């Protein structure tokens, strides 16, 4: 080739390269200008297009559904569609921080998938790859989409951390929807560029919530969420559906061959015995609460109970006093808190599922040594009346006395029991003594359910793993320590006020003599009966059985698609 021709060819390629470069510099692959000011305006227009396309249900951002659509739609027009978390060529430090927070949402007892985690990660990965390949951001539409999804994620996180997963329509109905709180949190996050601090300020500060947050990291470090098992509902509504689910669950851990569709009663019993032996359970070949709870136990299920419990703390948001009695029913434990420390702990027996212990808040009013027991009407109609109709001598054998409406004692032999089917116009009272169902001490507190804390004459029940066994009252193993704590606080208050008090020495003397005394409590120690199926206790995560099925509603909210 001639020298002149070669120089001409080089000049052609140079001009071609310059032309291509100018072409790429004047527009990106979305056809937008690369002039910074013009690109910024283009990004705002993209945000406006997305926002105006969001429908009332939150749809409109491709396949994503906004959970706080109303607030997002209000926010952007007020900002003239200025992006919150991104700029034309990068994610802001606050945006990066929020992305990391969403990825680690489990440390708040929340689920990353509720905050567009998968979609945001996908968009971010695409942008990073585009930058490596071409050195330019390609799609302002997706950039705008990311900003809106991050805003929705922040506002939803704020709402969930402050009010739990109650749907917006329920919050509005109860007049507890507070969008101004979430908008203020967003404003603070934008100002400080610290979304984590703005969100954490919305969390409850109760001891139980804080204890769960402290133990969560250790659990999450070793948790395996890849194992998803069929959850068994027990007690069941349909035995056929339950057995089918049970067989499916047993296949998942290779207790049964995958080809098996049905089992007769004998084969199922033999299989269950193998399962029970492998899991160190009572080997009876029967399905029940113990077996179902064991099969339902997994890291995914444990975390869901943590999430439900933390959500319940957010919904209830209680401000607790300096000293109080705390009975967490599913844990089967009573704790006395004194300045955020546990001053006393005791095993308890709570109501059976058929005779639940209610949730309540009250204050200890008095303590009674060697109490009598006036039997509730529900126990009379359900248990005592059927027995006494068969044999009037049943009352005397059990140490029960019968009284009419005027307080006169009535002989059981003088009553025509055939007249009564559901109730009777008499009080049944068990006299004081070591055989009394209330034991030797009773702790009274005002409540409409006629329940109380007390000792018991069936102390062997405290050794049971499942201690949901009573008629509704709470039996306390360490009743001795509880009354001493109450009287110690009472005596300290009395000394401050210069008033009289009952000493523990007097009470011990009355107990030794088996005397009945009513001891008024002046310090009015608060009592809380609550229901949480997870707890941080002694630095470890504890998971409890949902003995009353109270978690069902929150389970549906956390695992469903409601905003």
DSSP letter at 251? Answer: H
Non-local (6+) Cβ contacts of 386 within 8 A are none
DSSP state of 383: I
* C-alpha–C-alpha distance, residues 473 and 426, integer Å: 22
What span, in angstroms and rounded, lies between the C-alpha atoms of 402 and 254? Answer: 59
**CA distance linking residue 458 with residue 177, whole number of Å:** 48
d(CA 27, CA 34): 6
Query: DSSP letters of 145-192?
Result: HHHHHHHHHHHHHHHHHHHTT--HHHHHHTT---HHHHHHHHHHHHHH
Burial of 129 (0-12, 13-18, 19+ CB in 10 A): exposed
116, 160, 165, 473: the active-site residue = 473
For the question of residue 114 being annotated catalytic, the response is no
Q: Establish whether 454 is a catalytic residue.
A: yes
Give the up-direction half-sphere exposure of residue 26: CA atoms within 13 A in the CB hemisphere. Answer: 6
Beta bridge partners of 62: 60
Query: What letter does residue 288 receive in the DSSP assignment?
Result: S
Span between the terminal Cα atoms of the chain, in Å: 72
3-state DSSP call for residue 429? strand
**Contact status, residue 163 vs residue 176, Cβ threshold 8 Å:** yes
Active-site choice (114, 165, 454, 471): 454
CA–CA distances in Å: residue 206 to residues 158, 197, 210, 312? 18, 18, 6, 12
How far is 47 from 87, CA to CA, in rounded Å? 12
Quick one: the chain helix, strand, coil %, rounded to 5? 50, 15, 35
d(CA 273, CA 282): 9
CA pair distance 250, 259, nearest whole angstrom: 12
Catalytic positions, please? 454, 473
């Amino acid at each position: 080739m001639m020298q002149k021709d070669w120089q001409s060819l080089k000049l052609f390629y140079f001009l071609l390269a310059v032309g291509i470069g100018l072409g790429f510099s004047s527009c990106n692959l979305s056809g937008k200008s690369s002039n910074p000011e013009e690109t910024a305006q283009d990004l705002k227009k993209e945000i406006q297009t997305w926002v105006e396309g969001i429908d009332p249900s939150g749809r409109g951002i491709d396949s994503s559904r906004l959970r706080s659509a109303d607030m997002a739609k209000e926010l952007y027009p007020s900002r003239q569609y200025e992006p919150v978390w991104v700029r034309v060529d990068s994610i802001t430090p606050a945006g990066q921080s929020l992305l990391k927070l969403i990825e680690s949402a489990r440390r708040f007892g929340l689920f990353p998938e509720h905050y567009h985690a998968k979609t945001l990660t996908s968009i971010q990965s695409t942008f990073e790859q585009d930058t490596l390949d071409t050195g330019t951001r390609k799609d302002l539409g997706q950039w705008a989409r990311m900003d809106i999804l991050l805003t929705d994620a922040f506002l939803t996180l704020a709402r969930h951390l402050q009010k739990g997963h109650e749907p917006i329509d329920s919050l509005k109905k109860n007049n507890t929807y507070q969008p101004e709180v979430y908008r203020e949190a967003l404003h603070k996050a934008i100002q400080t560029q610290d979304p984590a601090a703005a969100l954490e300020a919305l969390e409850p500060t109760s001891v139980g919530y804080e204890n769960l947050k402290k133990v969560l990291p250790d659990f999450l470090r070793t948790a395996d969420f890849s194992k998803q098992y069929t959850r068994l509902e027990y007690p069941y509504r349909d035995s056929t559906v339950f057995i089918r689910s049970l067989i499916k669950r047993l296949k998942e851990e290779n207790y049964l061959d995958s080809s098996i569709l049905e089992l007769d009663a004998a084969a199922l019993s033999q299989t269950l015995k193998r399962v029970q032996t492998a899991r160190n359970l009572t080997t009876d070949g029967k399905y029940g609460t113990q077996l179902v709870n064991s099969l339902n136990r997994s890291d995914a299920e444990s975390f869901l109970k943590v999430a439900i419990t933390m959500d319940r703390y957010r919904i209830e948001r209680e401000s607790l006093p300096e000293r109080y009695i705390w009975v967490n029913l599913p844990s089967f434990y009573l704790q006395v808190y004194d300045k955020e420390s546990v001053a006393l702990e005791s095993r308890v027996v709570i109501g059976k599922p058929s005779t639940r212990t209610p949730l309540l808040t009250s204050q200890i009013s008095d303590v009674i040594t060697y109490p009598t027991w006036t039997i509730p009407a529900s126990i009379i109609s359900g248990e005592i009346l059927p027995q006494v109709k068969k044999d009037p001598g049943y009352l005397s054998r059990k140490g029960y006395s019968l009284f009419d409406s005027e307080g006169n004692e009535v002989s059981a032999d003088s009553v025509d029991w055939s007249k009564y089917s559901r109730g009777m116009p008499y009080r049944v009272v068990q006299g004081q003594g070591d055989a009394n169902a209330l034991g030797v001490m009773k702790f009274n507190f005002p409540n409409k359910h006629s329940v109380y804390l007390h000792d018991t004459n069936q102390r062997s029940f405290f050794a049971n793993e499942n201690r949901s066994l009573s008629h509704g009252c709470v039996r306390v193993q360490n009743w001795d320590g509880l009354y001493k704590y109450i009287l110690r606080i009472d005596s300290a208050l009395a000394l401050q006020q210069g008033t009289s008090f009952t000493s523990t020495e007097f009470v011990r003397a009355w107990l030794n003599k088996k005397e009945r005394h009513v001891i008024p409590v002046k310090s009015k120690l608060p009592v809380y009966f609550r229901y949480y199926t997870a707890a941080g206790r002694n630095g470890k995560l504890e998971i409890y059985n949902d003995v009353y099925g109270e978690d069902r509603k929150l389970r549906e909210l956390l695992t469903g698609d409601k905003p």
